[in-house]
Amino acid sequence: MEWRGKRVLVTGAGKGIGRATAIKLGHRGATVIAVTRSKDDLRTLAAEIDCQQVCVDVADGDALRTAVSSALPVDMLVNCAGTTVLSSFIDTDPEEFDRVISVNTKAPVIIGQIVVRDWLRRGVRGSIVNVSSDAARRAVADHTVYCASKAALDAVTRVMALELGPSGIRVNSVNPTVTMTPMGVLAWSDPAKADPVRARIPLGRFLEPDEIAEAILFLLSDEASMINGVSLAVDGGLAIT
């Protein structure tokens, strides 16, 4: 894949998986439009790679629409910004439910609509990767909203792939297992919770941000030209257990 000349919008580019993806893209010659809500993260990222900085809270629909519209045109999109709340089903606060869904599911829809409308207008055969989770397909205790938000994101991914495929636009998701980013540390630091999950992974370890970033770049790229509508497990084999 020739990344030079490609403009790739990456949300959640400040930390973790989004940052690893942005850095890999930048090192391979792409221009990254880095979206996150921390100015400090954007500043340090810009010291590492050539990127356009977009500071916005993706849960704020109006601000998001303005920010993404003014960042166009882009050739590819990675929806990676994500959040969680640790709470049992019985204690889940409906307002927290809305907040997590806004970031994990609704923001990718809003951004996707803006980007795809522009592609359809210009006849661009673009590619989108939504960063979902292994939690989209299994029950994880204290992750009610998170599981729901990622299952919904996979469903959105499939419908986008179905409807946009005829225009040459591909849409896929990656579904990582535990990755020790700031979010991973928040949810998986307790060995009593983490060890049994790690033990079920055939490859016997958690994921590194660079490993998921590599899968994202592959799905974005022309090398994946016939892959559309998949939810790609990047989990050392956890999905088959």
- Which residues sit at the interface with ligand NDP, rule CB under 6 A? 12, 14-18, 36-38, 41, 57-59, 80-83, 103, 131, 133, 176, 178-179, 181-184
In 3-state terms, what secondary structure has residue 76?
Answer: strand
Closest CB to ligand NDP among 6 and 37? 37
Question: Least Å distance between CB 125 and ligand NDP?
Answer: 25
Closest CA relative to residue 206, chosen from 181, 186, 231: 181
Complex with ligand NDP: residue 58 or 124, whichever CB lies closer: 58
Minimum separation from the CB atom of position 88 to ligand NDP (A): 19
Token pair of 91, please? 């204690």
Q: In terms of CB distance, is 124 or 153 closer to ligand NDP?
A: 153
With beta carbons less than 8 A apart as the criterion, state whether 53 and 38 touch.
no
To the nearest whole angstrom, how small is the minimum distance from the Cβ of residue 123 to ligand NDP? 30
CB nearer to ligand NDP: pick between 157 and 179: 179
Note the maximum CA span of the chain. Answer: 52
Closest CB 168 distance from ligand NDP, rounded Å: 26
Which H or E run includes 54? strand 51-55
Q: Smallest distance from the beta carbon of 86 to ligand NDP, in angstroms?
A: 13
Identify the DSSP state of 179: B
Which residues are catalytically annotated? 146, 150
Would you give the DSSP letter of residue 235?
A: S
Q: Please compute, for residue 216, the number of CA atoms within 13 A of its CA located in the half-sphere on the CB side.
A: 31
- Angle of the 144-164 helix axis to the 107-122 helix axis, nearest 10: 10
Which of residues 30 and 103 has its CB atom nearest to ligand NDP in the complex?
A: 103
Nearest to 80 by CA among 153, 5, 24: 153
CB 18 within 8 A of CB 78: yes
